[in-house]
């Protein structure tokens, strides 16, 4: 029996946490955003460094949940929670905020590898997709938000923990350089 058919038979979803570990969770714990978040808090009560890391991102509100089926990313939020069916894979991602001055930058936050320009063009047409970094194999999505969006307090990822994060979402804010005009008499 495959892993997917076993999950469907048992009435489970698969949670892929931000460190890439897979956890089967009963679909009965996925009826609302709040209920799934409570389940995540229980899941990350362990003392492992991976659990502590993810617990910290949850406490800071620097994570999100999504369904990522390789063709489209559907963010899961408390508004408009969908019916989650057995066999679904839910991905937890660390949210990283970046400022950019020239539009979306499809570059891995952890290893710095830039996405090739042909892939970048297709991703711009499919803004709701994730990218697999060809060097470090992390999976990430890049989205842009407006300057008017309220920035959160971002805590840097300690170097000792960077290697643990496998799934992340880069929220870029495109900033404009301030210019001033001087009128000469």
**pLDDT tens-digit profile of 13-39?**
999 999 999 999 999 999 999 999 999
The 10 Å Cβ neighbour count of residue 68 is 20
Task: Compare 152 and 48 and report the one with higher pLDDT.
Answer: 48
Report the C-alpha gap between 91 and 22 in whole angstroms: 9
Q: Which has more confidence, 2 or 79?
A: 79
Which is it for the CA torsion 68, 61, 57, 10, positive or negative? negative
Identify which has the larger pLDDT, 2 or 110: 110
HSE-CB of 84 using CA atoms within 13 angstroms = 31
Give pTM, 2 decimals. Answer: 0.79
The secondary structure of 61-121 as a DSSP string is T-EEEEEE-SS-EEEE-STTPPPPPTT-EEEEEEEEEEEESSS---B-TTT-PBPPHHHHH
Q: 65-84 pLDDT, tens per residue?
A: 999 988 889 999 999 999 99
Q: Kindly give, in sequence order, each residue whose CB lies less than 8 Å from that of residue 31, ignoring residues fewer than 6 positions away.
A: 81, 84
Q: Kindly tell me the sign of the dihedral angle through the C-alpha atoms of 63, 48, 137, 17.
A: negative
């Amino acid at each position: 029996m495959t892993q997917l058919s076993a999950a469907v038979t048992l009435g489970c979803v698969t949670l892929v946490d931000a460190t890439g570990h897979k956890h089967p969770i009963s679909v009965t714990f996925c009826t609302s955003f709040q209920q799934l978040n409570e389940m995540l808090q229980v899941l990350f009560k362990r003392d492992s460094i991976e659990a502590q890391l993810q617990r910290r991102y949850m406490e800071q509100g620097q994570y999100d949940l999504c369904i990522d089926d390789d063709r489209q990313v559907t963010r899961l939020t408390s508004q408009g929670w969908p019916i989650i069916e057995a066999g679904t894979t839910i991905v937890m991602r660390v949210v990283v905020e970046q400022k950019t001055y020239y539009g979306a930058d499809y570059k891995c936050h952890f290893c710095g590898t830039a996405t090739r320009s042909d892939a970048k063009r297709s991703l711009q047409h499919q803004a709701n997709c994730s990218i697999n970094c060809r060097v470090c194999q992390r999976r990430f999505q890049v989205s842009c938000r407006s300057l008017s969006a309220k920035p959160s307090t971002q805590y840097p990822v300690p170097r000792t923990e960077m290697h643990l994060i496998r799934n992340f979402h880069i929220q870029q804010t495109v900033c404009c350089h301030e210019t001033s005009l001087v009128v000469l008499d």
